[in-house]
Structure 1
Amino acid sequence: MIEGTDNVSREAAAEAAASSNAATILPGATIGILGGGQLGRMLANAGSAMGYRFVALDPTPDAPMGQVADQIVAAYNDRDAARELAARSDVITYEFENVDADVAAMLMSESYVPQGSELLYTTQHRLREKRAIEAAGVQVAPYSEISSVEELREAVERFGTPCVLKTATGGYDGKGQWVIRDSSESDEAFATLSKAGTQLVLEQFIDFAMEISVIAARSSKGEIKAFPPAENIHVENILHLSIVPARLEDSVLREAERLAIRLAEGLGVVGLIAVEMFVTRDGELYVNELAPRPHNSGHYTMEACRTSQFEQHVRAVCGLPLGDTALLSPVVMVNVLGQHVEPLLERLAVRDEAAERLNVAPKVHLYGKKDAVYKRKMGHVNVLAESTEAALDWINETKIWKV
């Protein structure tokens, strides 16, 4: 609490009151999830082991989560289906941030949604998200709201090239953005992205040495813990590898965890928040994006940490004490895309001599998606090893992930 600051005092008092009134949802209860994809599936697997029941709301029949839990097949904005979810659940959470914020707000009046809808509303819009990060006292890359091609030309001139134009809503894995490498591209970039019918934001390009992410958890009772930062490597804007421990100075890793915890506290997070950051060559950190849910770059926690991100999320929204986030083993998480499924399955069927020689333990997770579509995320492998170098050697030797 900051002495003499009435607003801060009132907010702290309100937060303390909310935390003290938070419900404790014990195993045996039913957790409803808005969204039934792979994150919901892994939440259900982790929570089921603790004794919870699950039900998902997802429009895709036989969705990944629907294969391991009950599923209501309906659109995310179907209010009758949302009310059914509320009636069948003791607590409701969400597995991805593009669910309908209005439905989440409605559910708050009819059910128990400890995450609320405000953070969902904030993180669904890049401009709102950036302003919220800055309000929490954390640095983002310089940016500008873009409403016209004239504003874009001026901002490109101010930021220099390269710079990145993004839609304010929607877009993932590189979709909904345009890297402007020359000012002459401004008109085409604006014409293309403005078709989405949403606001645009231009970001100054950060000459980063590494991309990292930190998964932090804050419980409904106010307890906060962070997982070790992951070093992330992308291929064609899709996450390819998460390497833990990240190959950075300890002081930078500690600062990354501190910033993630600061955001979790400042934004009043309940559950998980993934904080993606750029690391410059001199160790400066810029927050790139937030995701208020389990995150692809946190999948390594499933075998490599004392508590997985999925169990931690369940604990957080149910008001249980948070689990230990300590790292048990160096690990590299590698994503399995559609084109990787067949060679991975072939390798599973035979003795893995490379794994034995390198003393690594590959743990395969497939999500139950029907069609192995090129570049679509179908699963991941957590490669546990005595060193991340050994894990990377195994990944390279398999030749499954030729890039």
Structure 2
Amino acid sequence: MTRVAVVGGGQLARMMAPAATAMGVTLRVLVESTEASAALAAHETVVGLPGDADAIRSLLAEPRPDVITWEHEHIPLEVFALAAEMGVAARPGASALLFARDKIAMRERLDSLGLPMPAWRTVETEDEVEAFLAVHGGVGVLKTSMGGYDGKGVRIVRNPAEVDDWLAAAADGGPPLLIEEKVAYDREVAIQVARRPSGEMRAWPLVESIQVDGVCAEVIAPAPELSSALQAEAERIGRLVATELDVTGVLAVEMFDVGGRLLINELAMRPHNSGHWSIEGSVTSQFEQHLRAVLDWPLGDTSTLAPVTVMANVLGGSREDLATAWPGVADPSVKVHLYGKGVRTGRKVGHVTCMGQRVDDVRRRAAEAADWIRDGGAA
């Protein structure tokens, strides 16, 4: 039987399980505990952390998986060495993941490819921050080069003295820092592309993502008023990144739309929050496609199944028992996905998906359902 090993026990690995089951693939997941989100859904589990060599050996033990893949980018290099030693293909590889893990390496590589990005530079001193602000309207976005996600590791800067603590931490051995121009964008968008080792690629429609406090709250697919030219440019960028960085599996390229001009913001080399809509809204979900891609199987059709699909995240709120709350959602067409995670304010604990004809109507229905599950609001 075909077997895929996954490092990471969160909701992304959890949502691979139904797709794996449907395709006759056994999903073996490295989870941090028996209560982890993916532990409740995977076919086989190994408890341990990515830095634990014994746990990785168990993950790759007989019956040996055909491939090992990831639900996050922060994979120790020793994991790749062990996979090579035990004869298991690692996809995407370490050389590709570097560019999703290290923002400075990513910016340098994308610059070399001539791809559009906000202006940026590395910084080590207040003087360097001040010099950047002086030529970019007096405001910038300071980022840690590694470890940031969901708004963490990002700070808006208007005065160099505001970042003394981060500069000191970097000088003391912490991740290096970079600063970027604060882009006045019209909206945030994302393109997802899947690529298999043999080179076949498929792209989904460009989507719009709405962020609240640095966390994705909502995704609209396709992005409203999406022109064929903008879709073509987004696909060009996604395919070029996937090819030149040798990505295998699903790649998400998050971008700013500035009057029809796209600027790359972030990369993720795995299923991504911006693609959860595809479970119901596309012929092939991002989770099925990721498994197909890393196994080097033919890729599935990425056509949409409705004019509009909206995914709304359920972020932790006042309810603690979400499993008993969701049946109270009044709209029977809403699809509810809960991640089996403990509720904490602002934490992603699930999402809902709605499909329909009109953007405003579908957004309203999705938001009402997510609100009901989170806090018991009207649905």
- With the length of structure 2 as denominator, give the TM-score of the two structures: 0.90
Q: Distance in 1 between matches of 2:365 and 2:91?
A: 42
Q: CA deviation at 1:109?
A: 3.5
Q: Distance in 2 between matches of 1:274 and 1:34?
A: 18
Match of 1:252 in 2: 230
Distance 1:249 1:31, change over 3 A: closer
Letter in 2 for 1:62: E
Match of 1:364 in 2: 336
Q: Which stretches in structure 1 are left out of the alignment for 5+ residues?
A: 1-27
Distance 1:186 1:214, change over 3 A: same
Match of 2:180 in 1: 203
Distance 1:84 1:347, change over 3 A: closer
Q: Distance in 2 between matches of 1:171 and 1:133?
A: 19
Q: CA deviation at 1:97?
A: 0.7
Task: Confirm or deny: 8 A CA contact 1:233 1:239 kept in the other structure.
Answer: yes
Q: Distance in 1 between matches of 2:318 and 2:109?
A: 38
Letter in 2 for 1:86: L
Q: Distance in 1 between matches of 2:325 and 2:48?
A: 37
Distance 1:124 1:102, change over 3 A: farther
What is the CA deviation profile of residues 57-87 of structure 1, one whole-angstrom value per residue up to 9, with x for unaligned ones? 1223321111122211112111122122122
Q: Distance in 2 between matches of 1:219 and 1:230?
A: 22
Match of 1:39 in 2: 12
Q: Which stretches in structure 2 are left out of the alignment for 5+ residues?
A: none
Task: Confirm or deny: 8 A CA contact 2:353 2:366 kept in the other structure.
Answer: no
Q: CA RMSD in A?
A: 2.2
Distance 1:351 1:164, change over 3 A: closer
Equivalent position SS for 1:276: strand
Task: Confirm or deny: 8 A CA contact 1:243 1:333 kept in the other structure.
Answer: yes
Letter in 1 for 2:247: V
What is the CA deviation profile of residues 157-195 of structure 1, one whole-angstrom value per residue up to 9, with x for unaligned ones? 233332100100001111111101345535456357767
Equivalent position SS for 1:349: helix
Q: Does 1:276 align with 2:259?
A: no
Equivalent position SS for 1:161: coil
- With the length of structure 1 as denominator, give the TM-score of the two structures: 0.85
Letter in 2 for 1:382: T
Equivalent position SS for 2:60: helix
Match of 1:138 in 2: 115
Distance 1:233 1:268, change over 3 A: same
Of stretches 199-208 and 108-117 in structure 1, the one that deviates more from structure 2 is 108-117
Q: CA deviation at 1:294?
A: 0.3
Q: Distance in 2 between matches of 1:344 and 1:387?
A: 28
Q: CA deviation at 1:340?
A: 6.8
Q: Does 1:178 align with 2:164?
A: no
Q: Distance in 2 between matches of 1:337 and 1:56?
A: 25
Task: Confirm or deny: 8 A CA contact 2:352 2:366 kept in the other structure.
Answer: no
Of 79, 86, 105, which aligns to 2:60?
A: 86
**Quick one: percent identity of the two aligned structures?**
36
What is the CA deviation profile of residues 310-363 of structure 1, one whole-angstrom value per residue up to 9, with x for unaligned ones? 0000000111110000011111100011117569666633472xx37xxxx211
Equivalent position SS for 1:57: strand
Of 232, 236, 246, which aligns to 2:213?
A: 236
Alignment of 1:84-233 (within 5 A): 84-87=58-61, 88-110=64-86, 111-183=88-160, 185-187=162-164, 190-191=167-168, 197-233=174-210
Equivalent position SS for 2:148: coil
Aligned residues: 368
Equivalent position SS for 2:127: helix
Q: Distance in 2 between matches of 1:298 and 1:224?
A: 16
Q: Distance in 2 between matches of 1:351 and 1:165?
A: 41
Match of 1:374 in 2: 345
What is the CA deviation profile of residues 36-72 of structure 1, one whole-angstrom value per residue up to 9, with x for unaligned ones? 1110111122111110111111223321111122211
Match of 2:45 in 1: 71
Task: Confirm or deny: 8 A CA contact 1:166 1:193 kept in the other structure.
Answer: no
Q: Distance in 2 between matches of 1:275 and 1:383?
A: 23
Task: Confirm or deny: 8 A CA contact 1:331 1:387 kept in the other structure.
Answer: no
Task: Confirm or deny: 8 A CA contact 1:101 1:121 kept in the other structure.
Answer: no
Of stretches 336-345 and 266-275 in structure 1, the one that deviates more from structure 2 is 336-345
Alignment of 1:279-318 (within 5 A): 279-280=257-258, 282-318=259-295
Match of 1:22 in 2: none
Task: Confirm or deny: 8 A CA contact 1:36 1:58 kept in the other structure.
Answer: yes
